[in-house]
Structure 1
Amino acid sequence: MSQPSSPNRRKILQLAGATGALASLGAVSGRIFSPALAAPAPKIRLAWTEVAACHSPLGFGVAKGIYAKHNLDVELFYQGASGQTLIQALATNKADAGAGLIGDWLKPLEQGFDVKLFVGSHGGCQRLLASKASGITDLAGVKGKTIATYGIGAPPQVAFQVTLAKSGIDPEADVTWKAVPFELVGDVVNRGEADLAAHLDPWAWSIEKKYNFTKIADTQTGVFENHTCCVLGANGPFLQANKDALRRLAEANIEVHEYTANHPDEVAQWYYDNLKPAGLSKEDLTEILGKLVYHNHPIGQALVDQIRITSEDLKLVKVLDPSTDPKEFAERITVNLLA
């Protein structure tokens, strides 16, 4: 296996996000990720969802020493398969930081949960899929149809409510949402009990391949192009005491996701060997990882901008409170590690 290289600071900063972030980074490049490497490596308990393909770079980064290279002792904490269990892991001090979908983070943070978001990981790990029998070939065809997903209010439902709303379809009145067990979303659609499936990868990818469904939308293209979907957050007390360590965690997060973008086969092999995902081959995992948008990992002002846009989207579909100011909210729930 080729060894993860040590990109210089200029390389890391070039990868950090949108143009605005790069401008900010350039202004303070001498102060960004500057750990005192002679000091003992601080420990960070990082919550993750090990069964999710898009989280595999985190495990790979620990196993291959990428976090250790940044003088961090990262311990992974399996928080379960939902955003609610991620929130619980941080709230009960079982983890110091965690990776999760923006759609899972924002409502608890609106309600006052003491977490700050600090860096994005990637974009695009949710799909809206139609059965061939439904005859649906585009978003216009979704109107009047039934969409199966694993939970009302779950991230795939929320994401594609936004997609539908921005396409002129009322995501409440014009479609029917059907909650089914997580592992049966594809089966329900294949049996004709619903017309479309909304799910997360790698399960969505497997459903698409197994049943030859048609991909109608995803969170990489259309209204979600250039959006990040997963971000890292840290609980407030840990952040206040360990800001320098979180700067290095952000740097390592950018590096490991860039490495995955360039070597999806290596990360897939690690995922396959260590986590043994049911029904997925190493080749399957390579394809899944290779198609995620791993170059999209905003930090600083670029992250604030992403959170503001997502907040506007979630207000549109009535997830966030009508009185919430997206700009103020985004600034309040993020921490600028470039400052």
Structure 2
Amino acid sequence: MSSTDGQQDEPQPEADETNAAVASHDDEEDLATPVEPESPALSRRRLFAGAGIATAVVAGGGLAAWLTARRTPGAGNVNRTLKIGYGGGVCEGPLYVAHHQKIFEKHGLDVEIIKTGGDEIKDAVGAGKLDAAPGIFFSWLKPIEQGIDAKLAAGLHEGCLRLVVTKDSPLTSVAELRGKPIGVGAIGDSAMSFFSLDLLDAGLHPSEDVDWRVFPADQLADALTRGDVAAIAASDPNGLLPTLKGKARELTNNQQGANRQLYCCATAINGRLLREDPDVARSLVTAWAEGSRWVGANIAQTAALEVEHKYVAAEQPVVEAILNTYGYNPSAIRLKDEITPGIAKFARTGYLDRKTDPNALADKVYADLALTW
């Protein structure tokens, strides 16, 4: 995952206002323009005020079963270029691979991938400026609840979120983070959203008992070693690099404990595409999942591709080491099974509306494309 959380986010406006603003950007080059980071130490108190936690995740795809042994029934060609956003995370390998190994093309799709930062990617998917993006389930719940026109269709792989402390930190459990500052790449990003569940399990309220501080994602490790924060919550590579360099250790990750999440990264798909072209969405998701399986069988080649095309700012052995920590078993069915109980627990963080019905929100979040894997 983050996957798409590589940039710092500013406080989010209301959903209608945000979508209108994104839709007004007619110049598609805006999507590739990096987001200028704010001051690197904004407290969660300032950013929670009047903002709400905004993030989201969704996807789609499929093609005829007779074309490849790994495909499910789906669609044929699409007569326009599909635009898929990405944030520059190691965990976005399935997208890079599906693009460069021409898996999308094999499924009859013309796909362009566009570098986009922070929550801008969610707004762009909701507004139709992007057709899809990879993202982490919990971070898309609030935006979808607030009306972003996007849904999640399938899980891509396991692993990629980490809660990290310095190697010599006295902290040994999540419960000991009470009153401590935790560094994140953006308020409401994937790592913050997920580890808020661990805070709940430890008896802490995530918006009251810790101090979330925002830093540019690639500066989180420096903030930790300087002592600006007691821990950092991040997606890879920023979550794992400090540990690989011997400067930090993991307090926990999203493959451990009661909140173990089967999928960290999933496919987020624009609602209009889902409604008007479900066969194309099926093909897109199916090809994307095939990319995930390819990554699992070709870790070294994937690492080389990510470095060669400058998708990630890390050396190939480091990227390879990170990719080896994930599990690659994409599924639409298993993602669907995770959504309702995940929403029910996430609602306890206070990030969702108090009146949220988990079953009703699950219907808004999940795109059922009749995929059988």
Q: TM-score range by the shorter chain?
A: 0.7 to 0.9
**Residue from 203, 206, 212 that aligns with 2:241:** 206
**Residue from 36, 41, 55 that aligns with 2:92:** 55
Identity of aligned pairs, percent? 27
Distance 1:276 1:149, change over 3 A: closer
Cα displacement (A) at 1:321: 1.0
Distance 1:324 1:9, change over 3 A: farther
1:254 maps to 289
**Residue from 169, 178, 181 that aligns with 1:143:** 178
TM-superposition CA deviations, 1:161-180 (whole Å, max 9, x none): 11121133333444332333
Counterpart Cα distance in 2 of 1:160 and 1:326: 19
2:156 maps to 121
Distance 1:241 1:173, change over 3 A: closer
Counterpart Cα distance in 2 of 1:183 and 1:129: 14
Counterpart Cα distance in 2 of 1:97 and 1:173: 34
Contact 1:128 1:217 in 2 (8 A): yes
Q: Which amino acid aligns with 2:328?
A: Y
2:8 maps to none
Cα displacement (A) at 1:86: 1.3
Cα displacement (A) at 1:213: 0.8
**Superposition RMSD in Å:** 2.5
Report the 3-state secondary structure (helix = DSSP H, G, I; strand = E; otherwise coil) of the residue aligned with 1:75.
strand
**Residue from 283, 296, 299 that aligns with 2:317:** 283
1:194 maps to 229
Contact 1:42 1:245 in 2 (8 A): no
Distance 1:257 1:276, change over 3 A: closer
Contact 1:47 1:86 in 2 (8 A): no
1:269 maps to 304
1:88 maps to 123
1:298 maps to 331
2:356 maps to 324
Contact 1:208 1:215 in 2 (8 A): yes
Give the gaps of 5 or more residues in structure 2. Answer: 1-63
1:33 maps to 73
Contact 2:85 2:130 in 1 (8 A): no
Counterpart Cα distance in 2 of 1:47 and 1:273: 20
TM-superposition CA deviations, 1:240-275 (whole Å, max 9, x none): 221111111121122110111121111111111111
TM-superposition CA deviations, 1:262-293 (whole Å, max 9, x none): 21111111111111633x21111111112122
Distance 1:190 1:100, change over 3 A: same
Contact 1:47 1:89 in 2 (8 A): no
Corresponding position: 1:312 with 2:349: no
2:12 maps to none
Counterpart Cα distance in 2 of 1:218 and 1:112: 30
Contact 2:150 2:365 in 1 (8 A): yes
Counterpart Cα distance in 1 of 2:271 and 2:210: 39
Counterpart Cα distance in 2 of 1:98 and 1:150: 18
Which is helix-richer, 1 or 2?
1
Equivalent residue runs for 1:168-187 within 5 Å: 168-187=203-222
Counterpart Cα distance in 1 of 2:336 and 2:259: 16
TM-score, normalising length: structure 1: 0.82
TM-score, normalising length: structure 2: 0.75
Corresponding position: 1:70 with 2:103: no
Counterpart Cα distance in 2 of 1:193 and 1:50: 25
Q: How many residues align?
A: 308
Q: Which runs of 4+ in 1 moved over 4 A?
A: 6-11
Counterpart Cα distance in 2 of 1:50 and 1:179: 17
Contact 1:312 1:326 in 2 (8 A): yes
Cα displacement (A) at 1:42: 4.2
Contact 1:119 1:299 in 2 (8 A): yes
Contact 2:273 2:281 in 1 (8 A): no
Report the 3-state secondary structure (helix = DSSP H, G, I; strand = E; otherwise coil) of the residue aligned with 2:239.
helix
Counterpart Cα distance in 1 of 2:311 and 2:266: 25
Counterpart Cα distance in 1 of 2:181 and 2:274: 43
Distance 1:93 1:118, change over 3 A: same
Contact 1:117 1:333 in 2 (8 A): yes
Contact 1:96 1:238 in 2 (8 A): yes
Distance 1:268 1:111, change over 3 A: same
Distance 1:56 1:111, change over 3 A: same
Counterpart Cα distance in 2 of 1:315 and 1:9: 42
Cα displacement (A) at 1:307: 1.9
Report the 3-state secondary structure (helix = DSSP H, G, I; strand = E; otherwise coil) of the residue aligned with 2:338.
helix
Contact 2:121 2:133 in 1 (8 A): yes
Report the 3-state secondary structure (helix = DSSP H, G, I; strand = E; otherwise coil) of the residue aligned with 1:134.
coil
